[in-house]
């Protein structure tokens, strides 16, 4: 019993304690790696699954918070996803649920940046695990379950087995990636919308167009909101993650 209590205390101390920030060069290096991952087409097609997990997780969380009944989440190999919830087909709950998808990745990246700026590296990693575990319960297809399990296994392996420097590098990489990655799906969204409008498609099904139908506010306005939140989060998150100038080598 004493061993169990001691282990629980150690884990609590790890979660609530602070860890030293990584070297300045490592913060910059993983930031450049995250940016390269977003800009490189082939790498992006794989890494975009992480953004989809955050996107659909945002829909699901807000659906539950606003009192809607969550039926399940599906993630697909083309990096698309769908979250099905039941409730009123209109009203604030539906609006906030539709808004949440594109807003979640940048805001989650900003939250991660705030935790890392406070030295809470372990807490940030285990918070990520908790989110993935909660989402796994609602996954309703094999590809989605595998995606979430693989992502969770990587996070768990790093947080439990890796040394402090590797943990810090991974945590900063995740935060940088979400901040950089949040803008590209919105750009892709507007590109698809423009193509559909040129083709005079009768049914525009994106989140922005669903919000336009629900609120009467044009879809382009919602796209602009998504971009503004993504860029604002990147700016503020970048300030939080940037190395302290005192740690930089003198010129």
Spatial contact of 44 and 110, defined as CB atoms under 8 Å apart:
no
Across 103-130, b (16+ Cβ under 10 Å) vs e yields bbbbbbbbbbbbbbeeebbbbbbbbbbe
Q: Is the pLDDT of residue 71 over 50?
A: yes
pLDDT for the residue numbered 164: 92
Q: Is the pLDDT of residue 192 over 50?
A: yes
pLDDT for the residue numbered 95: 97
Q: Where residue 246 falls among pLDDT bands split at 50, 70, 90?
A: low
pLDDT for the residue numbered 243: 83
Q: Is the pLDDT of residue 160 over 50?
A: yes
Q: Does residue 160 lie in a domain region?
A: yes
Q: Does residue 15 lie in a domain region?
A: no
- Positive or negative, the CA dihedral 139, 102, 61, 204 is negative
Percent of the chain beyond pLDDT 90? 81
- DSSP code for 242: S
Q: Does residue 192 lie in a domain region?
A: yes
Spatial contact of 98 and 206, defined as CB atoms under 8 Å apart:
no
**Cα-only R_g, the chain:** 19
Helices (H) and strands (E) in the chain, counts: 10, 2
Q: Does residue 131 lie in a domain region?
A: yes
- Its pTM stands at 0.91
pLDDT for the residue numbered 251: 44
In three state form, how does the secondary structure of 169-223 look?
Answer: HHHHHHHHHHHHHCHHHHHHHHHHHHHHHHCCCCCCCCHHHHHHHHHCCCHHHHH
Q: Does residue 13 lie in a domain region?
A: no
Q: Does residue 185 lie in a domain region?
A: yes
Domain of residue 163 covers 21-244
Q: Is the pLDDT of residue 53 over 90?
A: yes
Q: How far, in Å, CA of 89 to CA of 85, rounded?
A: 10
Q: Does residue 190 lie in a domain region?
A: yes
Ranking 50-59, 169-178, 215-224, 241-250 by mean pLDDT, the lowest is 241-250
Tokens at residue 45, please?
Answer: 């097609």
| Mean pLDDT, all residues of the chain | 91
pLDDT for the residue numbered 46: 94
Q: Is the pLDDT of residue 108 over 70?
A: yes
For the chain, how many structural domains are there in total?
1
Ranking 10-19, 54-63, 91-100, 213-222 by mean pLDDT, the lowest is 10-19
Within 10 Å of residue 241's Cβ, how many Cβ atoms?
23
Spatial contact of 124 and 115, defined as CB atoms under 8 Å apart:
yes
Q: Does residue 196 lie in a domain region?
A: yes
């Amino acid at each position: 019993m004493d061993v169990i209590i001691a282990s629980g205390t150690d884990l609590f101390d790890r979660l609530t304690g602070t860890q030293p920030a990584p070297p300045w060069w490592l913060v910059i290096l993983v930031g450049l790696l995250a940016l390269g991952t977003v800009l490189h087409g082939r790498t992006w097609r794989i890494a975009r699954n992480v953004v989809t997990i955050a996107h659909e997780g945002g829909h699901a969380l807000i659906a539950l918070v606003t009192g809607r009944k969550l039926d399940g989440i599906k993630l697909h190999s083309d990096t698309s996803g769908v979250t099905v919830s039941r409730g009123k087909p209109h009203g604030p709950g539906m609006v906030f649920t539709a808004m949440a998808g594109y807003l979640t990745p940048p805001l989650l990246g900003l939250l991660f940046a705030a935790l890392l700026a406070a030295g809470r590296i372990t807490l940030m990693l285990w918070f990520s695990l908790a989110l993935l575990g909660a989402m796994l319960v609602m996954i309703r297809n094999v590809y989605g379950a595998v995606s979430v399990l693989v992502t969770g296994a990587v996070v768990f392996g790093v947080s439990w087995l890796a040394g402090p420097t590797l943990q810090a590098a991974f945590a900063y990489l995740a935060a940088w990636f979400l901040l950089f990655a949040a803008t590209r799906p919105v750009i892709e969204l507007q590109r698809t919308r423009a193509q559909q409008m040129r083709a005079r498609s009768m049914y525009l099904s994106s989140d922005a167009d669903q919000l336009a139908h629900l609120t009467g506010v044009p879809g382009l306005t919602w796209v602009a909101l998504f971009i503004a939140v993504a860029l604002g989060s990147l700016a503020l998150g970048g300030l939080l993650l940037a190395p302290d100038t005192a740690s930089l080598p003198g010129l």
